[in-house]
Structure 1
Amino acid sequence: MSTPSSPPVSERAGGSSVRIGALVPLTRPGWAEAGRHLLAGLELAAREVNDAGGILGRPLELVVRDTAADPQRAVAAVDELAGLGVAALAGEYHSVVARAAAARADALGLPFLCSSAVLDGLTEQPTEWVARLAPAQSHGWRIYADFLLGAGDRRIAVATEPSVYWAAGTRILRDHLAPRGGTVLELDMRALAPTDVCDELAGHRATALLLLVGHPEPAVPIVRAVRSDRRLAETMIGAPAGQPEFTEWATLLGDEGASIPFLRYLPERLGPLGARVGTALRERLAEAPSFVAFEGYDTIAVLAAVLRSHGLDRARTAESWPRVEVEGTRGPIRFSRTPGINVWQWAWTPVQVVDRDPAAPDRFRILHTG
């Protein structure tokens, strides 16, 4: 069910610590590589908080729980962490898991700063208890749709699996593209093999295929099938959910994984704080940090600032979201109420559409910003 708190943080703790519960996917079927980057950011920021004196003279301790992309497991973790007396919750990458955790945190009156999940409907009703750093799906995916239109792609196919997240993404794309002459064809991957996808693309003369599916299965086999089909040499493959961001993608697909545009939440150039944190994250991860690692760092930076300013009372933390002003790694962080979003939202982190450079798949190219 759980992984131990970060040893470097907890071993430094002398006396009673201020605990923050961290929800992270660290094992399959969760996207473990994303979880590893998220945890690296959370841990780096926690270490720096303690190096600077902790929270009100007490050390900060992360209490980490592995959600493994399982909503029920996440709810159980929220219950456990609330019972352990954590001051707040942080983290989570998977939208469906974060939604379950947010609902439980709201019910328990436990502040939750969601790091990475983008689903617009993170909670069913407006809540004071939940805030989010990642941009809402409708914001980022509309920017991606604009990129498609700018590239001349209007006959779009989506390879998709059953999920609230994928269904929401498909709806956002269709609603944005249809008034502008675009069409969206859904390909149900429960019924189709990768070679069947190729036949559908050729038959409908789709100019782009978007991967609204899990990684590495079935995303990787779909990419291989499309790349090897001569009929589809001009078909663009895209992955708005960001599957190509992580090293595993390049390791599994090599050159075939390049030129697949995806969404990334970074500015074109990092400022001094972001550059310093990026260097430290690279050392911690032994590879280039993803935007998810920066989200993790910023989450703890915000919570530490809130707890230092407003104390450890959970209700006071929840009341403080609209007063947050923190310099994050990707710009100044403030929360506001955004139409259609029921949680306190940072509006907005920088959004890029990028891909891996076919000439050097370890290098990213910025194709579009929004």
Structure 2
Amino acid sequence: MSTTSSRPGAERTDGPTGGSADGPSVLIGVLVPLTRPGWTEAGRHLLAGLELGVREVNDAGGIGGRPLELVVRDTAADPGRAAAAVDELARLGVAALAGEYHSVVARAAAARAEAVGLPYLCSSAVLDALTEQPTEWVARLAPAQSHGWRIYADFLLRAGHRRIAVAPQPSVYWASGARVLRDHLAPYGGTVTELDMRTLSPTALCDELVDNRATALLLLVGHPEPAVPIVKSVRADERLAEVLIGAPAGQPEFAEWATALGDDGAGVPFLRYLPERLGPLGTRVATALRERLAEAPSFVAFEGYDTIAVLAEVFRSHGVDRARTAGSWPGVAVEGTRGHIRFTRVPDISVWQWAWAPVHVVDRDPAQPDRFRVLHTG
């Protein structure tokens, strides 16, 4: 297998990964954020899972004797760049499109993939409205945002939080998340107050939290900026010692969070799409991913591996014709690292959806920040 990646400076081509497959490669186009302002750590983990999955498929003989090959393009969290990459990958002859972490980028990619007739298996983005209209061309592994964030709202209610403040940046993704929280909390007397991060400094944000008597602050912002300075300011303010800091989008999942914040980064609940205990396949893949990444794999790395498991099974069963791949989503039945994967039609979700990957609310244990605690199960 060779992997072509758009990285700073130049294109990179890695050598073969081994295995008995030969013949013309089956190409899979991959979108991942590998440079800023994209969430590069998520992109690195997603790509590691994809690459491991391809290596194992090729070691087992590929697709009818043909090796899988990833053609990787860096989106840098830019929807326009992603849409252009979809056009390029379609011209290069990829059999399917995979990947992406950022929801607004995945939405642009999905729209373009449908327009050019390219099947797209979205690995990690969660925005409910991934496409404007129902489509046969797109399927998704990650839970929809409304599903995961309702579980997070249930966690807040169970923990006794009714006065919630959110610190959002302008984005359809953050706005959608705030709306899910507000709609789910309102029947139980919960309120969601938005604090405008375009005008507030971290210090001024602390004053607003005091004035609003908020018991929880949710970070609906990018990482490391401005998430890290916000956390440091709130942790340093004695008036806010009892305020819960939350990050439903998963910022604390990655080692970069712990490195930047140390003990201040512990005790920040977030959504994690992993079972409490992995089965035999998940355990084996976790070991291989840890070796590949030189650190504990995030749930995003498992999403990458499961993406290849699904596409490889589709190609083996239906061939690599794009239209046949798009028509195969409802027949998928694959054992993934986090459970049995099937795609169905879910109300108000326009794509074929795995309903659902495991969802937990977890945090980094204050007593041992490199250990994760399960706080709530969806």
TM-score, with length taken from structure 2: 0.96
CA distance in 2, matches of 1:129, 1:5: 29
Q: CA deviation at 1:15?
A: 3.4
Partner of residue 293, structure 1? 301
CA distance in 2, matches of 1:116, 1:211: 19
1:48-67 CA-partner distances (Å, limit 9, x unpaired): 00000001210100000000
Kindly indicate whether residue 77 of structure 2 is the aligned counterpart of residue 69 of structure 1. Answer: yes
Q: 1:325 to 1:240 in 2, by over 3 A?
A: same
3-state DSSP of counterpart to 2:274? coil
CA distance in 1, matches of 2:358, 2:335: 14
Q: Contact 2:23–2:65 at 8 Å: present in 1 too? A: no
1:58-91 CA-partner distances (Å, limit 9, x unpaired): 0100000000000000001100000000000010
Partner of residue 272, structure 1? 280
Q: 1:274 to 1:5 in 2, by over 3 A?
A: farther
Q: Contact 1:9–1:62 at 8 Å: present in 2 too? A: no
The one-letter amino acid paired with 1:318 is A
Kindly indicate whether residue 164 of structure 2 is the aligned counterpart of residue 151 of structure 1. Answer: no
CA distance in 2, matches of 1:153, 1:210: 12
What pairs up with 1:216-227 in 2 under 5 angstroms?
216-227=224-235
Q: CA deviation at 1:135?
A: 0.1
Q: CA deviation at 1:2?
A: 2.2
Kindly indicate whether residue 169 of structure 2 is the aligned counterpart of residue 161 of structure 1. Answer: yes
- Larger mean Cα displacement after TM superposition, 13-22 or 97-106: 13-22
3-state DSSP of counterpart to 1:143? helix
Partner of residue 14, structure 2? 7
Kindly indicate whether residue 357 of structure 2 is the aligned counterpart of residue 353 of structure 1. Answer: no
3-state DSSP of counterpart to 2:155? helix
Q: 1:242 to 1:369 in 2, by over 3 A?
A: same
Which of residues 247, 251, 275 is equivalent to 1:243?
251
The one-letter amino acid paired with 2:198 is R
Kindly indicate whether residue 143 of structure 2 is the aligned counterpart of residue 135 of structure 1. Answer: yes
1:178-213 CA-partner distances (Å, limit 9, x unpaired): 111000000110010000110000001000000000
Kindly indicate whether residue 206 of structure 2 is the aligned counterpart of residue 198 of structure 1. Answer: yes
CA distance in 1, matches of 2:71, 2:167: 37
CA distance in 2, matches of 1:183, 1:170: 11
CA distance in 1, matches of 2:166, 2:16: 43
Q: 1:238 to 1:176 in 2, by over 3 A?
A: same
Partner of residue 129, structure 2? 121
Q: CA deviation at 1:9?
A: 4.3
CA distance in 2, matches of 1:368, 1:6: 43
Q: Contact 2:18–2:59 at 8 Å: present in 1 too? A: no
CA distance in 1, matches of 2:12, 2:325: 22
Q: Contact 1:323–1:334 at 8 Å: present in 2 too? A: yes
The one-letter amino acid paired with 1:2 is S
CA distance in 2, matches of 1:2, 1:76: 13
1:297-337 CA-partner distances (Å, limit 9, x unpaired): 00000000000100011000000000000000000000000
Structure 2: state its 5+ residue gaps: none
CA distance in 1, matches of 2:260, 2:142: 27
Q: CA deviation at 1:14?
A: 4.2
CA distance in 2, matches of 1:340, 1:154: 27
Q: Contact 2:182–2:191 at 8 Å: present in 1 too? A: yes
Q: Contact 2:215–2:244 at 8 Å: present in 1 too? A: yes
3-state DSSP of counterpart to 2:219? strand
Q: Contact 2:31–2:82 at 8 Å: present in 1 too? A: yes
3-state DSSP of counterpart to 2:268? coil
3-state DSSP of counterpart to 2:193? strand
CA distance in 2, matches of 1:224, 1:276: 37
Which of residues 310, 314, 320 is equivalent to 1:312?
320
CA distance in 1, matches of 2:324, 2:67: 20
Q: Contact 1:6–1:43 at 8 Å: present in 2 too? A: no
CA distance in 2, matches of 1:323, 1:96: 28
Q: Contact 1:113–1:130 at 8 Å: present in 2 too? A: yes
3-state DSSP of counterpart to 2:315? helix
TM-score, with length taken from structure 1: 0.98
CA distance in 2, matches of 1:342, 1:269: 31
The one-letter amino acid paired with 1:78 is V
Partner of residue 267, structure 2? 259
CA distance in 2, matches of 1:5, 1:46: 17
Partner of residue 214, structure 1? 222
3-state DSSP of counterpart to 2:195? strand
The one-letter amino acid paired with 1:180 is Y
Partner of residue 184, structure 2? 176
Q: What is the count of residue pairs matched by the alignment?
A: 370
The one-letter amino acid paired with 2:352 is W
Partner of residue 18, structure 1? 26
Kindly indicate whether residue 105 of structure 2 is the aligned counterpart of residue 85 of structure 1. Answer: no
Q: 1:87 to 1:170 in 2, by over 3 A?
A: same
